[in-house]
Amino acid sequence: MTLMSVENVSFSYGAGRRVLEDITFDVPRGSNVGLVGESGSGKSTLLRLLLGLDTPRSGRILFDGQPLEAKSGRYMRSYRRRVQAVFQDPYSSLNPAHRILRIVTEPLRSLKVPGDHRAMAEEAMAAVGLPADSLGRFPDQFSGGQRQRIAIARAIVARPELVLADEAVSALDLSTRVRVVDLFRDISERMTMVFVSHDMGVVAALCDRIVVLDRGRIVEAGETARILADPQNAYTRSLLSSIPRMPEGA
Ligand SMILES: Nc1ncnc2c1ncn2[C@@H]1O[C@H](COP(=O)(O)OP(=O)(O)OP(=O)(O)O)[C@@H](O)[C@H]1O
């Protein structure tokens, strides 16, 4: 079953040149799809389209069989409940003036999710390996890796069907990154994920399918194991050669 389909999507900012050209791929329900490419390849732009923050110039995006109606407030309210995002910088993405409880339960309030929000926050914190008493503290009392766990707790608290992650481990130091990748792997067993990164090693460790973007075009896409074993494209090979050491389980 396909949860999201991107069909022949092209995009340009204003009257500028195309930054995405004829992008087509599927995100099967339950899968983890990695979008990988160097800086400027169009990954963040594609993610903005998937989040409904911009609309394709041509082509379309289907979510659960329906076209994504980025311009409809009503549609987007239900979409936000079903699709959540984790961004790169765990320092700027958490409001320093708010306690963790308020931060993690924010999607529940804005989406008007009924029920016991504190209990849901405690459950999300447990899922990311942080103690429930963290909910009474402020962001500056946590390390970068812990803050990213809090951002992940916020992304999963409303039980979305799809989590979109944009360079979600890139800002972390190596050992923290390995732990947060492990956490994503754990969580991704229970939901569908699209994981955007310039780091082929991270994507290979986390995703069962990879889409390789080069200057706004897909140059290669397929199952991770196949791409690692037999990359067809020179650009993919160069991304693979930049992995210092294959992560375990890749
Ligand atoms: N707001 C904008 N206005 C005009 N051009 C933009 C804008 N944002 C991005 N671009 C251009 O679109 C292209 C794709 O950028 P994008 O940020 O999507 O790439 P990326 O792969 O995510 O790179 P990075 O990893 O550096 O964020 C680049 O050429 C960039 O300069």
What's the pLDDT score for residue 250? 47
Domain contains 127: no
The backbone torsions φ and ψ at residue 7, rounded to the nearest 5 degrees and listed phi first, read: -120, 110
Domain contains 210: yes
15 lines ligand 1 (CB under 6 A): no
Query: What is the phi-psi region of residue 129: left when phi exceeds 0, alpha when psi lies from -120 to 50, beta otherwise?
Result: left
C-alpha 126 – ligand 1 centre gap (Å): 36
The ipTM of this complex is: 0.94
Number of domains in the chain: 1
The model carries a pTM of 0.88
Q: What CATH number has the domain bearing residue 84? A: 3.40.50.300
DSSP 20: E
C-alpha 120 – ligand 1 centre gap (Å): 36
Q: Residues 109-114: what's their mean pLDDT?
A: 89
pLDDT in tens, 6-41: 999 999 998 888 999 999 999 999 999 999 999 899
192 lines ligand 1 (CB under 6 A): no
Domain contains 12: yes
Confidence band for 86, pLDDT divided at 50, 70 and 90: confident
Instruction: Indicate whether 249 pLDDT > 80.
Output: no
Whether 20 and 9 have beta carbons less than 8 Å apart is answered as yes
Ligand 1, pocket-test mutation among 45, 54, 217, most atoms within 8 A of CB:
45
Domain contains 167: yes
pLDDT in tens, 170-224: 777 777 778 888 888 888 777 899 999 988 988 998 899 999 999 999 999 999 9
Domain contains 152: no
Domain contains 124: no
**Inter-residue long-range contacts of 240-249, CB under 8 Å, 24+ positions, other chains counted:** 240/200, 242/200, 243/200, 243/201, 243/204, 244/201, 245/201, 246/201, 246/204, 247/178, 247/181, 247/201, 247/202, 247/204, 247/205, 248/205, 249/185, 249/205
Whether 88 and 166 have beta carbons less than 8 Å apart is answered as yes
Whether 59 and 9 have beta carbons less than 8 Å apart is answered as yes
Whether 135 and 101 have beta carbons less than 8 Å apart is answered as yes
Instruction: Indicate whether 136 pLDDT > 70.
Output: yes
CB neighbourhood size of 126 (10 A): 12
Whether 29 and 191 have beta carbons less than 8 Å apart is answered as no
Whether 226 and 250 have beta carbons less than 8 Å apart is answered as no
Position with higher pLDDT, 194 vs 250 = 194
The size of the chain, in residues, is 250
Per the structure, the complete domain to which residue 82 belongs is given by 2-95+162-241
Domain contains 60: yes
Three-state DSSP class for residue 6: strand
User: To 10 degrees, what angle do helices 100-110 and 117-127 make?
Assistant: 120
197 lines ligand 1 (CB under 6 A): no
